[in-house]
Amino acid sequence: MSWTKKHLLDIESLTAEEITTVLDTARGFKAVGERAIKKVPALRGKTVVNLFVEPSTRTRISFELAAQRLSADIVNFSAEASSFKKGETLKDTALNLEALNADFIIIRHSASGAPHFLSRVLDAHVINAGDGAHEHPTQALLDTFTIREKKGKIAGLNVTILGDILYSRVARSDIWALTKLGANVTLCGPSTLVPKTFEQMGCRVTHDVDEAIRDADVINLLRIQHERQRKTMFPSIGEYTQLFGLNKARFAKTKPDALIMHPGPINRGVEIDSEIADCSRSVILEQVTNGLAVRMAVLFLVNGGKALPEPAQ
Amino acid sequence: MPEATVILDATAIQRALTRIAHEIAERNEHSTEVVLIGIPVGGDHLAARLAKILSGIWNHAVPVGILDVTMHRDDLDQRVAPTVHPTDIPFDVTGKTVVLVDDVLFSGRTTRAAMDALNDFGRPKKIQLAVLVDRGHRDLPIKADFVGKNVPTSLDEKISLLLTESGAARDEVILKKK
């Protein structure tokens, strides 16, 4: 067991041991969710602010429930109904929230590095709930938690991430987490969305979907991030589905025990066939359940994390 | 290397557990109402051993559960987050006599957290406390009902329980200078 971090900003800066600590801790919290009384007093009296500058339902609700189940008080903050509209900067907004004695700031922002910036100007614990196309650490933690729970291990597994990698913060966090834990990661999708440069992160890049899913123990499907793409990266949705969608014919060629994962929201009939999304090998809804446990574990661990002294200049 | 003294060896641990089991049997005339709940790490294995001895005395199985108390501790703000262990109580505690089992009784804060945590699972009729070692230095008004051995200690000493269930070569309770 080792956790001394005050914030959770990204997966890149975590060690394999720290990732494992979160997963082990989350196991205990998952059991709490299965009890009649789903609340423990670990963060009683703490105030958590959900600072969601970019819209989200699933992650925000998951963090909200996680904080409530730890007995913390939680305030939701959305960009539409805030002073951002009146021209206030992110720093000023965050300092105002801290002046109200917020202990945790959970931030989602369209700019990469926004959580890192806040961690330098605030005393509160900062948790990254997704920053631009950079990272979405709790998603990677819940994905690895789900894989480990289903497969009993991570090391040595073949994990294929299929879809829009370029614009996906989930993909980046997943790649860091899975490679640190010893999985063999393959990325697949249209060449415009899966550039070869990703090989520098320690994974394999292919544009042949049949080859990418043939030996996979886990197939993680990603949605096309229309909101982040500045121009069309492939001719049409129909063509994407034809060439890269997980349909019944492709599904039949996968390993009989390959897990089907998706961080949501799913676009039925685009990246995944509707029946496959609901099949017994699909763990999409279990990912949601596990996400709550993982986020409880993260809040619990960073609460005990001691701030490291600033490095000497 | 700090000096280490064995305060209980395997035989002494076994003897203490046997005596505690007989004391539990003597104190509780309705044996079917008694359930054992161990507090990890250490107490869970001791609870399983006590249950085995008790089932021999009473001629029926004694339910055993595991209760993790880390989320109910009052010192979460003052230390690095402790390891969370799974809780597994496969029976209803309402109306039962719960014997909490822990390895070492020290400040009493673990016991307080355990009683608090137990509330989430029902309302026991009674709660009793069994510990292998009572080392003194209580911070709270808590007293064990069943004690394997009273060991006067100083605050700079540490007591560790090693059990074969947790991978130790042999059962031992060790006293060390920190």
Give residue B2's pLDDT. Answer: 64
- Binned at pLDDT 50, 70 and 90, residue A3 comes out as confident
Whole-model pTM over 0.90: no
CA distance A162 to A182: 19
Looking at the complex, report in whole angstroms how far the Cα of residue A150 sits from the nearest Cα belonging to chain B.
Answer: 17
Per-residue pLDDT, B6:
95
Q: Do A28 and B68 touch (CB under 8 A)?
A: yes
The CATH class, in words, for A137-288 is: alpha beta
CA-closest candidate to residue B89, choices B139, B9, B35, B146 = B35
Which residue in A3, A4, A40 is closest to B71 by CB distance?
A: A40
Please report which confidence band the pLDDT of residue A233 belongs to, taking 50, 70 and 90 as the band edges. confident
Question: What average pLDDT does range A113-137 have in this prediction?
Answer: 96
Q: Which residues of A touch B114 (CB under 8 A)?
A: none
Give pLDDT, residue A232: 73
Q: What is the rounded average pLDDT of the residues B125-138?
A: 97
Summarize pLDDT for B17-55 with one digit per residue, the tens: 999 999 999 999 999 999 999 999 889 999 999 999 999
pLDDT of residue A43: 94
- Separation between Cα atoms, residue B141 and residue B73, nearest integer Å: 16
Class of the CATH-defined domain A16-136+290-304: alpha beta
Chain B, residues 41-80, CB within 8 A of chain A, namely 68, 70-72, 76-77, 79-80
The helix-helix angle for A137-151 and A58-69 (nearest 10°) equals 80
Q: What is the pLDDT of residue A308?
A: 45
**Nearest chain B CA: its distance from A66 CA (Å):** 13
Greatest extent of chain B over all pairs of C-alpha atoms, in Å: 49
Higher pLDDT, residue A283 or B76:
A283
Predicted local distance difference test score (pLDDT) of residue A307: 47
Average pLDDT, chain A: 91
Nearest to B33 by CA among B100, B95, B114, B123: B95
Domain range list for chain A: 16-136+290-304, 137-288
Q: What is the pLDDT of residues A174-221, one digit of tens each?
A: 999 999 999 999 999 999 999 999 999 999 999 999 999 999 999 999
Task: Tell me what pLDDT residue A81 has.
Answer: 67
Average pLDDT over residues A142-169: 96
Partner B contacted by A6 (CB < 8 A): no
Mean pLDDT, residues A224-231: 70
Residue numbers in B near A43 (CB within 8 A): 76
**Per-residue pLDDT averaged across B70-83, rounded?**
83
Task: Tell me the one-letter amino acid at A78.
Answer: S
The C-alpha of A178 sits at a distance from chain B's nearest C-alpha, in angstroms, of 23
Q: How far is A235 from chain B (nearest CA, A)?
A: 50
Which chain B residues are Cβ-neighbours of A301 within 8 angstroms? 81
Q: Which residue type does A118 have? A: L
Does residue B1 register a pLDDT over 80? no
Q: Which B-chain residues 119-158 have CB contacts (< 8 A) with chain A? A: 120-121
State the first-to-last Cα distance of chain A, in angstroms, to the nearest integer. 31
Angle between helices A16-33 and A58-69 (to 10 degrees): 70
To test the contact with chain B by mutation, choose from A32, A39, A70 the residue with the greatest count of B C-beta atoms within 10 A, namely A32
The proportion of chain B whose per-residue pLDDT surpasses 90, expressed as a percent, equals: 84
Q: Which of A4, A27, A39 lies at the smallest CB-CB distance from B80?
A: A4
Domain ranges of chain B: 4-177
pLDDT digits (tens, 9 = 90+) for B161-176: 999 998 999 999 999 9
Distance CA A6, CA A134 (A): 20
3-state secondary structure of A47: strand
Q: What's the gap in Å between the CA of B93 and the closest CA on chain A?
A: 13
Domain B4-177: state its class.
Answer: alpha beta
**Which residues, numbered 22 to 81 in chain A, qualify as contacts with chain B under a Cβ-Cβ cut-off of 8 Å?**
24-25, 27-29, 31-32, 35-37, 39-43, 70
Any idea which of A6-10, A301-305, B123-127, B154-158 has the lowest mean pLDDT? A301-305
**pLDDT (tens digit per residue) in A260-309:** 999 989 999 999 999 999 999 999 999 999 999 999 999 999 998 754 44
Q: Is the pLDDT of residue A310 over 60?
A: no
Q: What is the mean pLDDT of residues B108-117?
A: 95
Q: Taking residues A150-163, what's their average pLDDT?
A: 97
Q: Under a CB-based contact definition with an 8 Å cutoff, are residues A268 and A274 in contact?
A: yes
* Chain A interface, best mutation among B84, B109, B115, B123, by max A CB count within 10 A: B84
pLDDT at residue A55 greater than cutoff 70: yes
pLDDT at A257 over 90: yes
- The reported pLDDT for the residue numbered A31 is 87
Contacts of A27 in chain B (CB under 8 A): 84, 86
Q: Across the beta sheet with A218-221, what order do the strands follow?
A: A204-206, A184-188, A158-162, A218-221, A259-261
State in Å, rounded, how far the first CA of chain B is from the last one.
10
Q: What ipTM was reported for this prediction?
A: 0.77
Query: A176, A237 in Cβ contact below 8 A?
Result: no
CA–CA distance, B50 with B39 (Å, rounded to integer) = 13
3-state secondary structure of B158: strand
What confidence score (pLDDT) does residue A309 get? 40
- What percent of chain A stands above pLDDT 90? 77
φ/ψ (deg, to 5) at A160: -110, 125
- The chain A residue lying nearest B81, using CA atoms, is A304
Strands (E) in chain B, as ranges, are 4-8, 34-38, 64-66, 97-105, 126-134, 146-150, 157-162, 172-177
Provide the pLDDT confidence category of residue A313 given band limits of 50, 70 and 90. Answer: very low
Strands of the B4-8 sheet, one edge to the other: B4-8, B172-177, B157-162
What's the mean pLDDT in A82-106? 87
Looking at residue B71, the DSSP 8-state letter turns out to be: G
Contact with chain A for residue B116, Cβ under 8 A: yes
